[in-house]
Amino acid sequence: MAQRPFQTGAIVNLSSGESSKDVVICTVPANKRFHVKFLGINGFGQPNQALFYAIQVTTGSRLGIYPIAPSGVGEIAEPEFPARHFGSQEVTLYADPGSDLLFTVARKDTTGNVRVFVELCGILADVRARGQADH
């Protein structure tokens, strides 16, 4: 099975008053499967405002929602985004050929703007046709 390293990312912007948003990180090529191995999040928002993050991946034609727990929050000297939410973790997720990988950001308190960057890396692997032998 041919494989090659693959990295992709997306940005989610929530304006004041917005509580959640889903964005497509990428669409997996029709003849490939994306094996997600690692992800990182850098979020910029408001102090004392909890943010929820999740990756949505279709595997075996079933959509799974995988919440992500950030590892830290810190204050920064940025008037629009005075709080930085960050984290990275090793994962094992498989995305079906032709499926969309989605990233969700949600919050309860909708005061102020939020900007979140997500990065995913892993392997794009060829999908064998049914009945094709390994060589």
pLDDT in tens, 59-99: 999 999 999 988 889 999 988 999 999 999 999 999 999 99
Beta carbons within 8 Å of 135's beta carbon, 6+ residues apart: none
Return d(Cα 108, Cα 57) in angstroms, integer: 24
Mean pLDDT, all residues of the chain: 92
pLDDT in tens, 14-23: 999 999 999 9
